[in-house]
Structure 1
Amino acid sequence: MAAADPRDSSSRLAPYACRPTRGRLIDEPESLIRSPFQRDRDRVVHARAFRRLMYKTQVFVSHEGDHYRTRLTHSLEVAQISRTIARVLGLDEDLAEVVALAHDLGHPPFGHAGEEALAQAAAEFGGFDHNVQALRVITMFERRYAAFDGLNLSWETIEGIAKHNGPMTGPLADPRPKPPVVTETLAAISSIKPLDLDGWPSIEAQVAALADDVAYITHDIDDGLRAGLLSIADVAEQPLAGPLLKQLVAAYPGLEQRRLIGELLRRLIDRMVTDLITETRRRIAAAGIAHADDARALGAPTVAFSAEMDQDRHAIKAYLFGALYRHVRVNRMTSKARRVVRDLVALFLAEPECLPDGWRERAEGPGNAVTARVVVDYVAGMTDRHARDEYEKLFNPFVRT
């Protein structure tokens, strides 16, 4: 009896699951032991940009404590949730996982504060967008392979990263103006293999996008409570979390706070994931989706929460925005972070000769668009620690360069 092909998962996939049918940006022989999406996942995991996520801020900078989430731990949690949902729905788990693992590769140091500073500093030179920066990382900056720059991922993986938040062009796209770097990067990739930017991505990529929400809502509550920026009493007043806390207190009176938080989080994740699976199944059945391209062509997303859960989700996000992301302690950290990023970009733009080897050669003199893009790409790739070290070396006259 012949051994089963380890690359073949078709027997457990639903008809609407995504299949790797459109190849890679650059043709290369496929693996004999891994499916294309498994190979994509492995390439992302081995990428330098993926390792750097360990030292990039989620909410709290890395030196504030060992147990707060970083971009790396966040990406791993998103990947775990994505795989669970994909398995239940009969989707390709590996595709959902690789989109989840790669979705934050373009984040600069210091989280959203760093992104805001980069966007402002680069406004007249094409702007900055972390989602598109992830595409630049996987198609340009990773240089591990002899035959091509980037990771040369499958079309479906690149599509999922590019569109995991929805269509990028056409009537279904977010109508807000996009910085030129977004349209230019997408056009460059589409000139090799069109990304069908008017439509939705695969169901797997949509799963990864909402798994991102589940992960960061729950782990930001966790980190906020452990840091003392949020209180159990305030969380108990929020929708979804409040009723779960009351159940826990009734079932386990006197439970220590560490265990109380852990139980709350796992139940929050379970409630949100179960709701998402139920609503997504309903939409698949209602739309008669029988093929991956059916979901791409819909006028609305296939993967979604119920209306009630969506309302609760937005209420919790609004609470976190005011109570956590705008807490004075976080505000002070983000103020310093913006200043570090802004000053680094300004210095390198005015004095590109201070850029390190490999970057300095690509610049074309101070103050022009080519140099600005080199500077932004360099700073965006920094970890929090690297940015702080560069700042000290360049602005503190008593630190050796």
Structure 2
Amino acid sequence: MLQGLDLPAAHLAPGLASYASDPAHSRGRRIGERAPATRTEYQRDRDRIVHSTAFRRLVYKTQVFLNHEGDLFRTRLTHSLEVAQLGRSIARSLRLNEDLVEAIALAHDLGHTPFGHAGQDALHECMSEFGGFEHNLQSLRVVDLLEERYPLFDGLNLTFETREGVLKHCSRNNARLLEAAEHVYADGQGGVGQRFLEAAQPSLEAQLCNLADEIAYNAHDIDDGIRSGLITLEQVRAVPLFNTYCEQALSAHAHLHQPAQARRLMYESIRLMLSDQVFAVIAATGEAIAQAGVESPGDVRRSVPLVVFGSDMQQRSAQLKSFLFAHLYRHPQVVHTMSQAKQVVRELFDLYCVRPGEMQAGFALRSQATQAATWDAGPPLQRSVADYIAGMTDRFASREHHRLTGQHLLTGAD
């Protein structure tokens, strides 16, 4: 494996800060490959992610509103693109590695189930006696094992740094399981689970993707919530953070007071909010880096979290998040639809466990054959069923449920 997490600035790629992740000094891939001739290692990761089957499926996977509920609502794909855009903008100002940020952002939701968090919650309940289910771990499982594109290895064989960024959360028990399977890293620094056991930090690029994810969520859920009619612009203006930018937009553009301009007012307010949040992250993170005195990626890992909002923006963003949780995510219409989605997932799980032959040809056999190659210790049948369901799009899961049960719970999903 390639080493060099603490190389001096003279060895860094042009334009990168000394604490940024340099692809020339990546810890490498689990299976050694010849270096790419025209791309960096992180660019190769990004390209592999974009061409993966799991990435294409994101276009038909839910954020808040199910795929059939409207053509203009966000999906996991458009969300991932927005996170990548925000992440790259911030990374450029902080002189971090934009390509690594983009790769992590595009891969971070590959393990999400159909039907958003409702699908994840239902699948976790189904797997509660078999090791549970968590979408961050599933995203890692997708890129490490489930993609079948290359003749010499399963998964995408991504670099350590991209894999680490994909794994946003991890319990200590799962981290220990991961480390037991990461013996391929022979440099003595541990695998992607090690930081959870040592309370260490990931790269700044990984930290940045986590925060960009939060920024994107809040902004596009305002847009989708108002578009759906479940919340109103007037309701959101009760949130101090959003109302600040709404007032700025009205002050700069008097015609936005007209009722017919309500949509433009919403978009301009969201744009101003996003810009201010980006600037807040850049300023607060730059200050945190300077105060911590970090000079290398190794210093970053031994430090406190450094990619931050700043206390004022963090508090105001938390208020917006609480508003969306109470008024949008817990709206009776959303709760009702998600309850039906959970039923679809639970019943599919039970059916496939009893009749695994109903899954696509060879899927259960493939998953069982490769079980020993992954960190997971759950029973092969149940884990392969979880893999199968997690890979479904909203509409495929709905069609499968209808085919196997005769029920049509999610009207319009076909």
Q: TM-score, length-normalised on structure 2? A: 0.87
Match of 2:14, SS state, is helix
How many matched pairs? 374
**Using the alignment, how far apart are the partners of 1:185 and 1:386 within structure 2?**
32
Separation (CA, whole Å) in 1 of partners of 2:290 and 2:155 = 38
CA contact (8 A) 2:12 2:18 kept: no
Aligned residue in 2 for 1:212: 213
Q: What does residue 326 of structure 1 align with? A: 330
Determine the C-alpha separation between the residues in 2 that align with 1:317 and 1:308: 14
Q: Residue 130 of structure 2 contacts residue 379 of structure 2 at CA under 8 Å; is this kept in 1? A: yes
1:377 Cα offset (Å): 0.7
AA aligned opposite 2:379: A
Equivalent position amino acid for 1:338 in 2: K
Q: CA deviation at 1:397?
A: 8.4
Q: How far off is 1:128 after superposition?
A: 0.2
Instruction: Report the equivalent of 1:117.
Output: 122
Q: Residue 5 of structure 2 corresponds to which residue in structure 1?
A: none
- Which amino acid is 1:383 matched to? T
Which of 354, 361, 365 pairs up with 1:350? 354
Corresponding position of 1:13: 16
Give the drift of 1:29: 0.2
Alpha carbons 1:362, 1:371 under 8 Å: kept: no
Please show how residues 243-262 of structure 1 align to structure 2 within 5 Å. 243-255=244-256, 256-262=261-267
Aligned partner of 1:395 among 397, 405, 410: 405
Shift of 1:396: 1.1
Alignment of 1:90-129 (within 5 A): 90-129=95-134
- Give the Cα separation in 2 of the matches to 1:391 and 1:184: 36
What TM-score, normalized to structure 1? 0.90
Change (3 A) 1:280 1:381: same
Show the 5 A alignment for 1:89-238.
89-162=94-167, 164=168, 168=170, 178=171, 182-183=174-175, 186-187=178-179, 189-193=181-185, 194-195=190-191, 196-197=194-195, 198=198, 199-238=200-239
The answer to whether the 8 Å contact 2:113/2:119 transfers is: yes
| Aligned residues with identical type, % of pairs | 46
Separation (CA, whole Å) in 2 of partners of 1:140 and 1:120: 23
Runs of 4+ in 1 over 6 A off after TM superposition: none
Distance 1:278 1:230 in 2: 32
Choose from 381, 385, 399 the match for 2:395: 385
Deviation, structure 1 residue 85: 0.5
In structure 2, stretches of 5+ residues that fail to align are 1-10, 369-377, 409-414
Q: Structure 1 CA distance, aligned partners of 2:202 and 2:358?
A: 41
- Extract unaligned runs of 5+ from structure 1: 1-7, 169-177
Aligned to 1:31: 36
Deviations 1:262-316 (A, max 9, x none): 1011111101110011000001100111101111111x20100110111111111
Following superposition, the deviation at residue 338 of structure 1 comes to 0.2
Q: CA deviation at 1:179?
A: 9.1
Q: Which residue of 2 aligns with 1:240?
A: 241
Letter paired with 1:208? C
Say which of 308, 312, 317 aligns to 2:312.
Answer: 308
